[in-house]
């Protein structure tokens, strides 16, 4: 018998593919670089390595949290792990809470470490998880870090979702009791400077703002409702670009990670120019894997990396930290957002 949770995991994959849009709506089109004609740099000089606390990552992109928890998603996780191994990028799995409740589906996560023994792997759990559960999740994949997701709008639209969201004490305990890096992430609704401040006050050192403009979980969960009456929430949240602007006051204090609607190398480079140290990509990789297969997805990622390095060459920025001091031109809408929210940019 397939459990309700395992069935939901499969539905999330099929609905993410059904609603997949190759164009980003995360606000990157409201930002422009200024072209400089004489960059005085060579492509081979570009170093795109980055860090997550003391973990060195060769590439600033990684496969963001998506799957696991059923027979079907076990196969997807195995393929994603092989793609991560072949390209050398890190990988997060989807929430492991399903496996902590029912250990018959643990192999759908364990397969990731089995397939990629030396890779960088991130665990994932919701913010109501206890420290003990977080430790169990990390052990399951011998993970290098753990993502703790916050997702109030998703839960509220999800017919069987949680209705209580008292997370901050829990987040504090996980941060103080877990030895590996802890990343608090959204799931595509973005963050405000107030939320980021709460996380910084809780001691969190890695924050993934995962903004609006890519995979939309209020749309996905609404589709799963009998009457689909909650579509008025489909535009809820801050875009990825707005969230990165909200993060400006914190970018030298904590490690900012960006995800949500990263669709092209130019989106990724703009996210890093706004202060992100790394960038998570979810649906485009899943879509490529399901529609085009493993080999083409490896190619997609390698081309993505080439694209990032090409743009950095054009900008004359040798490293991610050089890129982070590159100023962009903001559209008048974005400029108005920055003024209304009192953000430094
Ligand atoms: C099928 C699917 C399942 C997801 N499951 C999780 C999850 O379990 N935990 C989590 O933190 N985020 C989850 N996400 C959200 C992604 O990690 C990411 O934050 C979001 O999809 C935005 O990125 P994208 O626009 O590149 O897809 C899921 C995304 C997809 C597409």
CATH architecture of 4-340: Alpha-Beta Barrel (3.20)
Domain boundaries, the chain: 4-340
Q: What is the 3-state secondary structure (H, E, C) of 212-264?
A: ECCCCHHHHHHHCCCCCCCHHHCCCCCEHHHHHHHCHHHCCCCEEEEECCCCC
Which residues' Cβ are closer than 6 Å to ligand 1? 12-13, 16, 64-66, 94-95, 124, 147, 149, 185, 187-188, 210, 214-215, 259-262, 281-283, 286
Testing ligand 1's pocket by substitution, the residue of 14, 80, 187, 216 carrying the most ligand atoms inside 8 A of its CB is: 187
173 C-alpha to ligand 1 centroid (Å)? 24
Convert the pLDDT of each residue in 174-205 to its tens digit.
Answer: 999 999 999 999 999 999 999 999 999 999 99
Cβ pair 221, 275 in contact under 8 A: no
Render the burial of 246-279: b for 16+ CB within 10 Å, e for the rest.
Answer: bbbebbeebbbbbbbbbbbbbbbbbbbbbbbbbb
CB 174 within 8 A of CB 181: no
pLDDT given at position 4: 87
Distance of CA 122 from the midpoint of ligand 1 (Å)? 13
DSSP H helical ranges for the chain: 4-18, 71-87, 97-101, 107-115, 131-141, 152-157, 168-177, 193-201, 217-223, 240-246, 265-273, 283-292, 294-315, 320-323, 332-340
Report the alpha-carbon distance of residue 132 to residue 249 in Å, rounded.
33
Phi, psi of 44 (to 5 degrees): -70, -15
Ligand 1, atom 31: nearest CA belongs to which residue?
A: 283
Q: Give pLDDT, residue 1.
A: 65
Residue-wise burial string across 25-46, b where 16 or more C-beta atoms lie within 10 A, e elsewhere: bbbbebbebeeeeeeebeeeeb
Counting atoms of ligand 1 from 1, which one is nearest the CA of 186? 19
Using the mean position of ligand 1's atoms as its centre, give its distance from the Cα of residue 16 in Å.
Answer: 9
Task: Tell me how far apart the alpha carbons of residues 47 and 43 are, in angstroms, rounded to a whole number.
Answer: 9
User: What is the predicted pLDDT for the residue at 2?
Assistant: 77
pLDDT for the residue 261: 98
Residue to mutate, 65, 151, 261, ligand 1, most ligand atoms under 8 Å from C-beta: 65
Tens-binned pLDDT, residue by residue, of the chain (345 aa): 678 888 999 999 999 999 999 999 999 999 999 999 999 999 999 999 999 999 999 999 999 999 999 999 999 999 999 999 999 999 999 999 999 999 999 999 999 999 999 999 999 999 999 999 999 999 999 999 999 999 999 999 999 999 999 999 999 999 999 999 999 999 999 999 999 999 999 999 999 999 999 999 999 999 999 999 999 999 999 999 999 999 999 999 999 999 999 999 999 999 999 999 999 999 999 999 999 999 999 999 999 999 999 999 999 999 999 999 999 999 999 999 999 999 999
């Amino acid at each position: 018998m397939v459990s309700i949770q395992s069935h939901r995991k499969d539905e999330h994959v099929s609905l993410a593919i059904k609603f997949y849009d190759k164009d980003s709506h995360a606000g990157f089109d409201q930002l422009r670089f200024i072209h400089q004609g004489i960059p005085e740099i060579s492509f081979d000089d570009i170093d795109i390595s980055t860090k997550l606390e003391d973990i060195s990552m060769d590439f600033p992109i990684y496969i963001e949290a998506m799957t696991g928890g059923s027979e079907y998603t076990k196969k997807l996780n195995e393929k994603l792990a092989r793609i991560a191994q072949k390209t050398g990028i890190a990988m997060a799995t989807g929430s492991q809470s399903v496996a902590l409740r029912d250990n018959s589906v643990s192999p759908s996560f364990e397969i990731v470490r089995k397939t990629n023994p030396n890779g960088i792997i991130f665990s994932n759990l919701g913010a109501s998880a206890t420290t003990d559960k977080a430790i169990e999740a990390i052990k399951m994949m011998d993970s290098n870090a753990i993502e703790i997701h916050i997702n109030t709008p998703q839960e509220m639209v999800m017919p069987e979702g949680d209705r209580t969201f008292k997370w901050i004490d829990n987040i504090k305990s996980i941060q103080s009791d877990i030895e590996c890096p802890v990343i608090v992430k959204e799931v595509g609704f973005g963050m405000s400077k107030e939320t980021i401040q709460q996380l910084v006050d809780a001691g969190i050192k890695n924050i993934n703002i995962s903004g609006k403009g890519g995979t939309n979980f209020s749309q996905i969960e609404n589709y799963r409702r009998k009457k689909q009456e909650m579509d008025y929430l489909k535009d809820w949240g801050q875009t990825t670009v707005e969230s990165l602007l909200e993060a400006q006051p914190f970018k030298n204090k904590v490690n900012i990670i960006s995800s949500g609607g990263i669709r092209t190398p130019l989106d990724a480079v703009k996210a890093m120019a706004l202060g992100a140290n790394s960038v998570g990509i979810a649906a485009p990789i899943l879509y490529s894997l399901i529609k085009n297969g493993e080999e083409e997805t490896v190619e997609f990622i390698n081309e993505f990396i080439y694209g990032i390095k090409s743009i950095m060459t054009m900008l004359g920025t040798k490293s991610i930290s050089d890129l982070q001091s590159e100023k962009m031109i903001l559209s008048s809408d974005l400029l108005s957002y920055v003024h209304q929210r009192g953000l430094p940019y």
